[in-house]
Structure 1
Amino acid sequence: MKGALHMKIGGINFVTEKEKGYTVALKKVNKEKDILEISIDITMKEKAVPKEVTVAWDLDCIDMQSIWNPLCGALRNIQPAWRPNILESRVGSGAPIHSLISASGKNRGLICVSDVKTPLTISTGVEEETSLIKCRVTFFTIPVNAIDTYSAKLRIDLRNIPFYDAIYDAEKWWSIDGGYKSAKVPECAKVPLYSTWYSYHQKFTSDELLEQFKIAKEYGMDTVIVDDGWQTGDNNRGYAFCGDWEVYAPKVPDMKKFVDETHKLDMKYIMWYSIPFVGKHSKAFEEFKDMFLDDPTKDWCCLDPRFKKVREFLKDKYVNAAKEWGLDGFKLDFIDSMRLTEYSHFNEPGMDCQSLEDGIEKLLKSIMQELKKINKDIAIEFRHKYVGPVMKKYGNMLRVYDCPNDIMKNRLGVIDLRLIAGTTAIHSDMLMWNKDDTVENAARQIINILFSVPQISVDLKKMNEDHLDMIKFYLDFWKENRDTILNGKVIPYNPEACYSKAAVVTDKCEIVCAYSSNSYKLKTNPDKLVLINATGRKEMYLDSEVSTGIHKYEILDCMGNLIRRGEIEVDVGVYKLYVPDSGMVVFSK
């Protein structure tokens, strides 16, 4: 039977829903204007796996037009309270942050929780009778270890600032107050790379791939990811043959030689593994049949990292591979598939923790620690949805979720991840397109993810010269401007419209990618300004609020061909510019 506690803090009425025998104390702990930081302290009568506790409050739905959170995807509209926007957060998925945004892109209420490990949800929805946004944070939504006390902080940011600045500040709050700082990013995670997934799936040989890698290197890619397929002769997808992680010799006769030959091309080599999956055709399936999280009768199952034996088995697989083959990194897939189900075990011999989230973190921590002993510059790629503050401690590459040929989802994922990732390298999902499409449409794939590290996954041997020239031009442009792209501040526009445009800015350079809006308001006087046109139209508008003097300019098409060169004096006003579809104009002093 749940009770309720009512109190008013900072002008907001809070209601706490809790079990009998639970004591919940809320207290304001900061003095910043328009930011309410509340300590939440929960005490239980006895030590046990905690039941759900909810902290709820209302906000007036005034000048609120959309929502944002790390997992919202394209669903950014405000939902009704009876079917609210719900964000799930735990170690293995998401992050505890949710934002309400105005039509002008201003923050109207950012909700953030300091505890980035404990399973919880944040939800918002509008109540029809009152036009109030019903806000709720519910803790312990998935079973955790037995406890008798719990503490966390709730941050409610109501400042009238750009929505992205409120998110950036929340990320700093996690990093500084919580110690969730990004792992060091190696050089091989900060260069364009070639992935075998979309171009080959599981059907390849090492000789075929080496020929592809030679072309990839020529056109600007310096790292490769060899994805699923190296460990099995089964090419029907699925994971029924995963688990033993032994090289399938007919595809790769000598893995060490394959890696060495890739290194001779001056390319780094990253290998794919599915962390949790063990297939019924593997030797490991029988050994671990009592240590699965899900239905053991399936074709493949999820290992349970709460068992120490599971963690040691997985860690040793990666350590041995790094030592024996000289790998430069690991693409560790499907961490978010580790979920408790009706088949999951509790309090079993061999478990050294009952919380799945603790088990996941123990696993990742041991993997990173041991691999760094072998190679201090080891690359570890994680994928959307497991992208929260804990993940960036143990992975130094965060990739957008699989979205083949989907420029909008890739764009959304890149920008959303840039907002919360700190200094972690953000990677696009692998890029692929139809070889018979126009070069302008193919270029849009790269432009939409330009503010991430590009991963290319087309068969370069089948691309025509225009497509290859475009890849070379844009990857060279990316490398030339890498410092700005990776270290500059990303400023996205119109989140409710899946970002109509975005800019990355430093003190000296601004690079703008226009997706649906073909105008850009210039408020500073950078040494270099680049406007890239992915709108499908052939003109862009520069709306200058400042007089910046005389600039040289070059207009280039998407293959790098020079269309026009000249000088222009920029004063306050609007300038119409001819910019080819998927091309750019570069202003310099």
Structure 2
Amino acid sequence: MLLEDHQLQSIQWTELSRGISFGVDGGCLVEAVERLGLVDIVTVSIVPGGQIVLEAPLGNAAAYWHPCFDPGDSLPADWAGRERFSAVRSAPIGVLVDANGQSSFAFSFDCLTQEGEIEFGASEEAKTFVVRLAITDGLAAARSTVRLAVVAPELAHEQAVRELSVLLHDGIAGRQASEIAREPVYSSWYAYSQQISHDVIMRNASVASGIGCKSVFLDDGWQKFGDGRWYAGCGDWVPDTAKFPDLRGTVAELNAAGLQAVMWIAPFLIGEQSAAYSGLARYATHYSEHLRTWVLDPRHREVREHLVAVCTRLMRDYALDGLKIDFLNDVMNYAGTPSTGDVPDVGDAMTLVLSEIAQALESVRPGSLIEFRQPYISPAVAPFADVIRANDCPADADQNRRSTLNLRLLAISQVVHSDPIMWDPSAPVEAVSRQLLNVFFSVPQISMPLDVLPEAHRARAAELLTQWRALRDVLLGGELSVGLPNEGYPVVSSRLGSTLVVAAYQPRLLDLDLEGVSELVILNSTASSALPYTVFGDVPPVGSALAEGETAARVVEFAERGFVEVPAWGITRITLGA
């Protein structure tokens, strides 16, 4: 009901390509419309209370993709679709995807820092798809214009997202990827929650290194008062000496085992149990009920200096290789409130302090890693973290796949990590395969009590990480195709040079474009032992197939269509032309 609720019918619309139109109202004015490559750029001068509206043909729409997309609500009605964005939450970008995976409508706004909300959905009355951006006081105070980008031609939706993401990242230099950003991680979180210690970490370190991990992420629980799933003790960020009598010594032992150390911190949280609280309480006026602690307001110089000092001290005192910085989006509760600090806007303050932290860490430990997680994925903060991780989804392999692929579509220079994977240690070994194969197009993080894990599970994890590393350049750097978002990306592929990796997460038809391909790798994350396919191109190739565990290759000849034999929950390599 956007068209009715906001009197959009009275707007004077301007036509773009393919039946897409935009309109402004409430004092907003169109300053320019231009074509930049595959994108139409509309520059709009904005005022508080104004609005920018887009309307596009609904067509054969199947899903509306946005950076936090999940197929549970693929195509909402316009009275239901809402997505908030800010410097540390999502991004103002959206793509209407048809049933063939094409972008029938794709747009972005360049207002990445201040908090705002995109309203969107299918109009019952007009049978169109409508998007609305309301111009808030904060947005209008921070800038005088907004640039709207609309993809001009119809493209594969992955390409449309990429075009818009490149535009949004334009002029934003990414953080140099750390040495370990592209290496598998051992995380303590799901394995032990807050019940970690020197002994627990070191019991798992040699096993983690043995299966292929190159770093250990010491998660929540290392710090004083780090027990109980609440955060009233946060703020001092010193070790719990009962758990870690010599934290620097723990890090040194990890390094000796060939593992780098990254530490979790939630620097904006300040609890009443901490010694730091009395000096910072006046800068923390928001109480988070779900975290049971106070949240620091970065609009104050004193807060920013404290945060930089804390992060720098941790890196220096414990010789860390990086920080996993958490709970950034809770700071946006200050959005729209009067500032008593030296920076008026929360989004501006967040980009400022995160920039200062990143610079400080680089000066103390050059080449260090910084991890953010969903939803802190805006291009506005991309320069301050070389790693972005999927949001928490314990044991949900499908959600982990969807989240990492969504991040892959949006990210430009950042390295995408999976949420730490976990599984039931009493489950069949196929559970290990399913969890890992679902995150193959990202950097896997693993979080299990490895020291007591069944040997078959450890061996399978090691096998798959070896395969992942051998394919890493293609998986992380190839041309990515993800299939239909509303179906949860059931078939995914990536091609780099003459190598094509295709992953089946449901026993769906594999569309194989084998033109110029010399190596085809099929990841079968299903219980099926044969997968249907069609081949594009001229003469169907003959190949030599070798699956995991097999010692002798077998001949494979592709017809125009058919079934290819592949072991369930396994990987098959096919050398074409052999």
Task: Return the TM-score normalized by structure 1.
Answer: 0.91
Letter paired with 2:550:
L
* 1:28 aligns to 2:20 (yes or no): no
Q: Which residue of 2 aligns with 1:574?
A: 561
Deviation at 1:563, TM superposition (A): 7.1
Query: Which residues of structure 1 form unaligned runs of 5+?
Result: 45-50
Deviation at 1:552, TM superposition (A): 1.6
Residues 107, 158 of structure 1: 8 Å contact kept: no
* 1:93 aligns to 2:98 (yes or no): no
Partner deviation per Cα, 1:4-47 (whole Å, 9 max, x = no partner): 752424365543232xxx452343122657x43201113x5xxx
SS at match of 2:283: coil
The whole-number CA distance in structure 1 between the counterparts of 2:393 and 2:432 is 15
Residues 165, 410 of structure 2: 8 Å contact kept: yes
Deviation at 1:479, TM superposition (A): 1.0
The whole-number CA distance in structure 1 between the counterparts of 2:391 and 2:225 is 26
Aligned pair partner of 1:17 in 12, 25, 28: 25
* 1:489 aligns to 2:483 (yes or no): no
Deviation at 1:489, TM superposition (A): 1.8
Q: Which residue of 2 aligns with 1:305?
A: 298
Residues 532, 584 of structure 1: 8 Å contact kept: yes
Q: Which residue of 1 aligns with 2:348?
A: 358
Deviation at 1:158, TM superposition (A): 4.5
Query: Which residues of structure 2 form unaligned runs of 5+?
Result: 1-5
Deviation at 1:540, TM superposition (A): 1.3
Aligned pair partner of 1:175 in 159, 164, 169: 169
Partner deviation per Cα, 1:330-360 (whole Å, 9 max, x = no partner): 0000111112359x86242xx1111000110
Alignment of structure 1 residues 4-153 onto 2, 5 Å: 6-10=12-16, 13-18=21-26, 22-30=27-35, 35-42=39-46, 51-83=48-80, 85-140=81-136, 143=138, 146=141, 150-153=144-147
Q: Which residue of 2 aligns with 1:325?
A: 318
Residues 6, 15 of structure 1: 8 Å contact kept: yes
The whole-number CA distance in structure 1 between the counterparts of 2:62 and 2:288 is 45
The whole-number CA distance in structure 1 between the counterparts of 2:488 and 2:203 is 38
* 1:540 aligns to 2:531 (yes or no): yes
* 1:369 aligns to 2:373 (yes or no): no
SS at match of 2:309: helix
Letter paired with 2:68:
L
Residues 507, 532 of structure 2: 8 Å contact kept: no
Partner deviation per Cα, 1:422-469 (whole Å, 9 max, x = no partner): 121100000100001111122100011100000000011221122111
The whole-number CA distance in structure 2 between the counterparts of 1:345 and 1:173 is 31
The whole-number CA distance in structure 1 between the counterparts of 2:483 and 2:20 is 30
The whole-number CA distance in structure 1 between the counterparts of 2:211 and 2:13 is 62
Letter paired with 1:71:
C
The whole-number CA distance in structure 2 between the counterparts of 1:427 and 1:584 is 21
The whole-number CA distance in structure 1 between the counterparts of 2:353 and 2:415 is 22
Residues 6, 13 of structure 1: 8 Å contact kept: no
SS at match of 1:82: coil
Structure 1 residues 204-213 or 24-33, which shifts more? Answer: 24-33
The whole-number CA distance in structure 1 between the counterparts of 2:139 and 2:128 is 33
CA shift in 2, pair 1:455/1:12, >3 Å: closer
CA shift in 2, pair 1:246/1:112, >3 Å: same
CA shift in 2, pair 1:519/1:12, >3 Å: closer
SS at match of 1:390: helix
Root-mean-square deviation over aligned CA pairs: 2.1
Q: Which residue of 2 aligns with 1:565?
A: 553
* 1:224 aligns to 2:216 (yes or no): yes
The whole-number CA distance in structure 1 between the counterparts of 2:545 and 2:53 is 55
Residues 28, 50 of structure 2: 8 Å contact kept: no
Residues 334, 346 of structure 2: 8 Å contact kept: no
Deviation at 1:535, TM superposition (A): 2.1
The whole-number CA distance in structure 2 between the counterparts of 1:161 and 1:431 is 33
Residues 32, 42 of structure 2: 8 Å contact kept: yes
Task: Return the TM-score normalized by structure 2.
Answer: 0.93
Partner deviation per Cα, 1:119-145 (whole Å, 9 max, x = no partner): 2222322222221222212233x7358
Alignment of structure 1 residues 192-207 onto 2, 5 Å: 192-207=184-199
Partner deviation per Cα, 1:461-495 (whole Å, 9 max, x = no partner): 22112211110110001111111112112210121
Identity %: 24
SS at match of 1:282: coil
Residues 224, 240 of structure 2: 8 Å contact kept: yes
Letter paired with 1:127:
S
Q: Which residue of 1 aligns with 2:546?
A: 554
Residues 68, 76 of structure 1: 8 Å contact kept: no
The whole-number CA distance in structure 1 between the counterparts of 2:217 and 2:252 is 14
Residues 430, 456 of structure 1: 8 Å contact kept: yes
CA shift in 2, pair 1:236/1:416, >3 Å: same
